Chain A
Amino acid sequence: MNISLILQMAADTDSERIGLVCQNRRWSYGALLRAARGAALNISRSTCAYVTLLDESSEAAPIALFAAALAGVPYVPLNYRLSNTDLAALLSRVAPAYIIGDSDRVRQICPEGGHIVRTRAAFVAEAESMADAAITMDDPGDGIAVQLFTSGTTAAPKAALLRHGNLLSYILGTVEFGSASPEEAAVVSVPPYHIAGIAALLSSIYALRRIVLLPAFDPDDWLELAASERATNAMLVPTMLSRVIARVDAGVTADLTALRAVSYGGGRMPVELLERALELFPNTGFTNAYGLTETSSTIALLGPEEHRTAHASSDPAVRARLGSVGRPLPTVQIEIRDEDGRPLPPGERGEIYVRGDQVSGEYRERSALDAEGWFPTRDAGWMDAEGYLYLAGRADDVIVRGGENISPGEIEDVLLSHPVIADAAAVAVPSAEWGEAVGIAVVARPNQPPPSEDELRTLIRNRLRSSRVPERIAILDALPYNEMGKLLRREVRKLFQS
């Protein structure tokens, strides 16, 4: 199996149809396939062991993704926002690589790496000049299609491996081939080094849905592009959606009447933000998708009808589903398990386990799958009686105070109910008496004096058990997030280490 099949089938079906729009150029499926074949030949001749992208989103991303597949080497898009030190460490783990993108930076930080380096423009031009390259990949094995370094919010980045079979299972299980009508276009604004960025390319091409690429996210650029390309679909992480809505609320106008479907995921979505989005775009279907790098993207989703039903309902249990990530895909199984690995009944909080052909659970160093093929996600959550899944933070973020497990989410929810608090994080802090205790970092709303430490302690004591009362409190201007909107808890923990 080989994911290049996806582009091959699109080009066989409608070679002239525009499959990708990026800046001033429109690419047909046929042109993308020819470029991917040309690039594959150049990559094969280089004898590099990896294809690496160090760049914003552009046509080079899908060309490199499919070229790597055709050449039979892993595609490794890297986060160009990393520091030189962190990036050099990752580059040494993929040597020798065929690197596309910021060639000056690679030569500066990795002069002896043995890499082959091409700028985006040179890579694309060389690929196109190899017209009708005779390369076909009929690999009957199941090699590594994509290697992604996890963002490492809790530890050093791990190299997650996605095999051709994992990604193809995901696409075949979730996308109907050629199901998009010719006017459909999806704005893709997630970074190319994120699983959502890879899945967006594969899903859209298999559906024959035109991809409209935004090189790097900016809310005004997003609004302008979505309007000018008459975008019908978009995927956004919650922080992106929040920034788009803030610009619309500030008076920026854009014609988004073509926008039929917005999916979101990749971080916690505040219910107030979602309700604002549902009001602002009454004719748009919203889909919440939950997935991980190690699961080839989405494993559970809450669809448009479920959003509207929950939004309109007066039944608190149905309304609460706006805060769920929906039900498992028909092609995967999900279980909630306790610390000893035993399945838990509905309503009980534990660790989320998932199993299915799209689930890799494999790292360069080891596989995290158990003997029966289940992947422990390290995400905490619970399922209701109807099978709706709710997330409750990372299992690693649980605070263990004197043997009692405390979920940061319950403390954060109480803090966020305070009218002056804009953002809050609860983390474990070292405690001589308890091993760990609760530390909180809070951010006050603009131009508001933050609440006193006594007030914060009283708030938590009155709403939760005394073990949740924070031992340490920090008032910050902002909490540390990565560019995908994930809270960097290890950075918050560092505040309390002294």
Chain B
Amino acid sequence: MKPGTKLKSTVCDTEVMVIRGSGMVVECGGVPMADERPAERGAVKPGFAQGTQIGKRYVDAAGTLELLCVKHGQGSLSIGGVALQLKDAKPLPASD
């Protein structure tokens, strides 16, 4: 994966686009995401079921990875079993 890559959850509807980061294995619902959804969906692992929200950006603690959720689902995002965090964005006034 690299910036611009779209990743799909293998256990729910979640889709993300990579904004920053490359060569990492991103998990959704505790299971690695893939370029294509498998014919048979797996199960969301316990502890990784908080869900994703469309339009939110998710980052790792080291700041090396940023994902944009473009389709929401029931699984939550992680790397190596460590949950990703919602990126805080200060709201700006509309300027155009």
Contact = CB atoms under 8 A, between A and B. Distances in A.
A263 B55 contact: no
Contacts of A203: 94-96
Given A140-B5, A141-B4, A9 B55 contact: yes
Nearest to A1: B4
B89 A176 contact: yes
B68 interface: yes
27 contacts: A1-B4, A8-B70, A9-B54, A12-B70, A138-B6, A140-B5, A165-B3, A172-B57, A173-B89, A174-B95, A175-B94, A179-B91, A196-B96, A200-B96, A203-B95, A203-B96, A206-B55, A207-B94, A209-B94, A235-B94, A261-B93, A263-B94, A287-B93, A287-B94, A289-B95, A301-B92, A301-B93
A329 B92 contact: yes
Given A12-B71, A141-B4, A263-B94, 8 more contacts: A5-B70, A8-B70, A13-B54, A139-B4, A172-B19, A203-B96, A209-B94, A285-B93
Contacts of A138: 6
Contact of A298 (B89, B90, B96): B96
Contacts of B55: 9, 13, 176-178, 206
Interface of A: 1, 5, 8-9, 12-13, 138-142, 165, 172-179, 186, 196, 199-200, 203, 206-207, 209, 233, 235, 261, 263, 265, 285, 287, 289, 291, 297-298, 301, 303-304, 329-330
A173 to B, nearest CB: 8
By secondary structure, the A interface counts as mixed
A206 B92 CA distance: 14
B41 interface: no
A298 B4 contact: no
A207 B91 CA distance: 12
A268 to B, nearest CB: 17
Interface string B66-79: 00101100000000
A453 to B, nearest CB: 43
Interface residues on B, range: 20 to 34
Contacts of B89: 173, 176
Contacts of B68: 172
Given A142-B4, A172-B19, A172-B68, A289 B57 contact: no
A174 B54 contact: no
Contact of B93 (A139, A141, A206, A304): A304
Q: Most chain-A Cβ atoms within 10 A of its Cβ — which of B68, B70, B94?
A: B94
Contact of B95 (A142, A172, A177, A265): A265
Contacts of A303: 92-93
A177 B92 contact: no
Contacts of B37: none
Interface in B8-65: 17, 19, 54-57
A213 B49 CA distance: 42
B3 A1 contact: yes
B13 to A, nearest CB: 10
A493 to B, nearest CB: 31
A233 B95 CA distance: 10
Contacts of A297: 95-96
Nearest to A2: B4
A142 to B, nearest CB: 7
B64 to A, nearest CB: 16
A1 B95 contact: no
A289 B92 CA distance: 11
Contacts of A263: 93-96
Contacts of A289: 95-96
Per CB-CB distance, the 7 closest pairs between chain A and chain B, nearest first, are A177-B55, A289-B95, A199-B96, A298-B95, A287-B93, A1-B4, A140-B4
Nearest to B1: A140
B94 A233 contact: yes
Nearest to A329: B92
A142 B14 CA distance: 23
A235 B5 CA distance: 34
A263 B56 CA distance: 25
Nearest to B70: A9
Nearest to B2: A140
Given A5-B17, A5-B70, A176-B89, A261 B94 contact: yes
Contacts of A298: 95-96
Contacts of B95: 174, 203, 235, 263, 265, 287, 289, 291, 297-298, 301
A157 to B, nearest CB: 22
B82 to A, nearest CB: 24
A141 B54 CA distance: 23
Contacts of B56: 177
A420 B19 CA distance: 56
Nearest to A206: B55
Contacts of B93: 261, 263, 285, 287, 301, 303-304
A322 to B, nearest CB: 16
Contacts of A285: 93
Nearest to B55: A177
A172 B20 CA distance: 13
A175 B71 CA distance: 18
A263 B94 CA distance: 7
